[in-house]
Structure 1
Amino acid sequence: MPFNAAAAEARSSITSVLASWAALIADERGIGAPQRHVVQLARFVHENVRWLCAHWAAGDAVEEFTTLTRLARRACEPRQVRIVPVGDCVRSRCTGKLRAVVKVVPGARPKPSEIRCSADDGHWWASDEWAALSTGMHAHEGSGRVWYSVADIEALRNISSGSVYRLASQNQWRRRKVSGKVYYHHADVTAALGS
């Protein structure tokens, strides 16, 4: 079984922070501190949370516990976000560039979630609106070529890499190679796969 370094780091941080706050509570209240085990430390801090909330360092405690929560969530659900360039924004007079935000969870297929404009936060589309967005993009195609990697096509079109390579070969997609990575022209991908 592989060692999860992020989980080990999170557990160590949780133990250290809980032990520090438990020591502060025990010292200032004149009560015995629990053993240095996460469950016992957490229970002790929880039992004394009203006292801690009234303490001058309560804000620091909240900040540290929030950081620990984020750290633990990241260790449990390692998730990366990839930004995939899509093209020019389709909204009139907008000079922004559209980018797909693709969430990558190890061991699972990439999941596209939304397309956002670099110039205006109000210009965004959920994954179920992408087909309608594609229609608007064709009016802006003259502004330059957009190239997609195999991973980008996999994520955006929800097909396997083998299917991407097969379709590229069958349909003779224009391709270019940059630093050993193959990219395909968006017009060829759209022509083969539709909007």
Structure 2
Amino acid sequence: MTTNEITARTGAEATASAPALLLRPWAEADAAALAEAYRDESLRRWTSHSIPDEESALRWIREQGRRWEAGDRFAFAVVEAGAGERPVGHVVVKGVVPGGGSAEVGYWTAAHARGRRVASRALEALTGWAFATFAGQGLDRLELLHQADNEASCRVARACGYEQAGTLPAAPPAHPLEGHLHVRRRVSGVGP
């Protein structure tokens, strides 16, 4: 499947208050926007990566490309259709293993784009893409993890049909606080 096919299949529909979203692999040209997004204190609080400058952003983007080629992590820049190529968010499917049955999803929204349902629209598109793309490899469960005090992520998860399945204990340093586990299952023969 080519990048263009993936982008076309994952475009989220426009709403009255927000433009359509397109999901595409991260590109080196996104480094400045990625570094800018990570200057946001809220974003840094909820993510496990540190991207303090453009050089770090380039390394991160290149690693996403390597992982895409390896077939175990599929990271997408989220852009608004018709608004240029500046990313407004990020979604990812990770831990894809043929026959594994489950994988994990994650997301964030840049500060300048919050309040327009970017995360929920992009997550819904990613979920459909993941189930359609990897169903033949046995994928029937997607997991979403977030810190227990991240109420916005909890709302996004529930809005996209990810039911809370439990609370996970803190595991410092990567996960310094308790977390919520949300799960969405593929409905056989019905689509995402």
Q: TM-score, normalised by structure 1?
A: 0.28
RCO comparison, higher one (Cα < 8 Å, 6+): 2
Greater share of strand: 2
Query: Computing the radius of gyration over CA atoms, which structure comes out larger, 1 or 2?
Result: 1
Greater share of helix: 1
